[in-house]
Amino acid sequence: MLGRRDVGHRIVVRRIVGNQSGRTLFSDALGELVDLTETHLTLATANGPLRVPLGEVHRAKRVPPARRPNATAVVELELASDEAWPAPVRERLGDWLLRTAEGWSGRANSALPVGDPDRPLDEAIDAVQRWYAERGRPAMVNVPLPLAAPLGAALDERGWTARPLVLVQTAPLTTILETVPARPDLPAPELAETASPEWFALAAQRKARQTRRYARLDADGAGPAVDAERPADPGAPAELPAAARHILTAVRQVRFVHLYATPPTDGPGDGPELVAVARGTVTGQDRWLGLSLIEVVPAARRRGLAQHMIRALAEWAAGLGASRAFLQVEEHNEAAVSLYRRLGFTTHHTYQTRVAPQ
């Protein structure tokens, strides 16, 4: 039977779907195992997530990966992603990276275990826990799958919990530019080297929602609770800590997209308002466009503004010589995954953020 070591791998499941004239009926499903509990397993299939009760599983086994990138390609992209989201405090444990940023965002406050930690695996995990404990932070590790599956199995044995699976997706810039049409009917996105106070406020609201959600997950040890479509919380803090501003700005090639639109009223003093933001970076020896913090206020959604901003960033990055784009999205965020699929993004690899028991 499958175990936690199989999470992140491609499997085939034969499940019982009924009985006809005394004969058991079966159906096969193929996909990536993204979650396994005492009662259910969840597959990421070509048609979307599939949750199967274990009582209905007749047989399940791991199968060879479909066009998996090699280890070198995964490491290259993980390092380009780290460069695009730089934690202000960082040290090395052999080749591994230890990062912290006042608790702002999981990526910047977790270890990145790529390469050799220069010590046995158990000793490396102990060293990670000591490093974060010395800084008063919970120990977290971003585990790329299946590259670091042995580490994931070791963390399972120690009782580390797992946050929702994240898809690291990529697309050629040429595909994005061919897929997303120019929209002269929409306001032109403004690509600035610095972010406005309003931009930072929207980013703060978005990350505050995510932080609260992860706090619930870490406390409950439960599955995902996606709230990506919830409106911005007016009570969320509008100020970002210094570490967050470092993460967002300390990249050599970075652009902050501001998209303004005039609200549909004619009252006095009404003018263009910031309705959508995004952030783009070019890293990895200027090869990769990294997309992050794509946010559209609820009143302006369903108008193609996210695609409009992504196209603008793709044009900018192509002008710098970049050839591909990457982004990170939770596998359960079906609306975002569907959008990115339409733009030509496919999953390069996955990762899970693992959290040490408190």
Instruction: Give the tens place of pLDDT for each residue, 222-249.
Output: 443 333 333 344 344 457 889 999 999 9
pLDDT at 222: 43
* pLDDT in the model for residue 68: 67
The predicted structure's pLDDT at residue 232? 40
Q: Which residues of the chain have pLDDT under 70?
A: 8, 46-48, 65-68, 211-238, 263-270
**Beta strand extents in 303-345 (DSSP E only):** 324-330
Distance CA 1, CA 218 (A): 27
Token pair belonging to 160: 């580390």
The count of C-alpha atoms lying within 13 angstroms of the C-alpha of 26, restricted to the half-sphere facing its C-beta, is 10
Choose among 247, 218, 248, 212: nearest CA to 232.
Answer: 212
Produce one character per residue of 196-232: b if its CB has 16 or more CB atoms within 10 Å, e if not. eeebbbbbbbbbbbeeebbeebbeeeebbebebeeeb
For residue 81, give both structure tokens.
């992603």
Tokens encoding 317: 């990055």
Question: Residue 6 has what pLDDT?
Answer: 78
**Per-residue tokens: 258:** 């501001």
